[in-house]
Amino acid sequence: MICIRPWESNDADKLYRLVRQSVTELSVWLPWCRLEYARNDTDDWISHSLNVWSHRSEFPMAIINCNSNDVLGGVGINKIDWETKTGNLGYWVGTPWTGRGIARTAARQAAKLAFSELQLKTLEILCHPDNIASRKVAESLGALNDGIHANRIELHGITVDAVVYRIASDFASH
């Protein structure tokens, strides 16, 4: 069973091992993941996560196996505009766990949290046009493909186009 929850300090070792195990695949799509990813990057991420949750500015979460507490990946709501009640939904799963519906399940849980607890009205999912796995997750959630938007994401210092998907708050009733 898959659960999402805020990152905790005691997740650091498991998160670091998972990222290092997955760095080759993740670094292609995720700007924070690079071949030189180090343990202090994990510690910085956990600290950042605790801070932004306490300020309610972002909501990064661990994807875990509810039974074993193993870290499987991450999901989060960020770039929130409280005035327009919009935000971004992002997700990733470690290489050993891909292809099992984990990202879809976690993204669905995070979207429900965004719409019910945070009272957001719209979420956007932005991904590189060639990131087929992330696109499939967005489409499996019923997100509407809003097309390719120029210069929407930065990937390793280069601004690139992104496919933008939108999910409206009535998603939770589906």
The strand pair at 86-93 and 122-127 is best described as parallel
pLDDT reported for residue 91: 98
Q: What are phi and psi of 93, to 5 degrees?
A: -130, 140
pTM, whole model, 2 decimals?
A: 0.95
155: left (phi over 0), alpha (psi -120 to 50) or beta: beta
pLDDT reported for residue 17: 98
Low-confidence ranges of the chain (pLDDT < 70): 171-174
Task: Please state, in angstroms and rounded to a whole number, the distance separating the CA atoms of residues 86 and 120.
Answer: 6
Task: Please state, in angstroms and rounded to a whole number, the distance separating the CA atoms of residues 132 and 27.
Answer: 15
- For 51, the token pair is 């801070």
pLDDT reported for residue 87: 98
pLDDT reported for residue 172: 53
Percent pLDDT > 90 in the chain is: 95
61-71 confidence digits (pLDDT tens): 999 999 999 99
Q: Which residues pair with 158 in a beta bridge?
A: 155
Q: Which domains does the chain have, with CATH numbers?
A: 2-173 (3.40.630.30)
pLDDT reported for residue 144: 96
Task: Please state, in angstroms and rounded to a whole number, the distance separating the CA atoms of residues 119 and 81.
Answer: 11
pLDDT reported for residue 156: 87
**Does the CA dihedral 160-152-149-140 come out positive or negative?**
positive
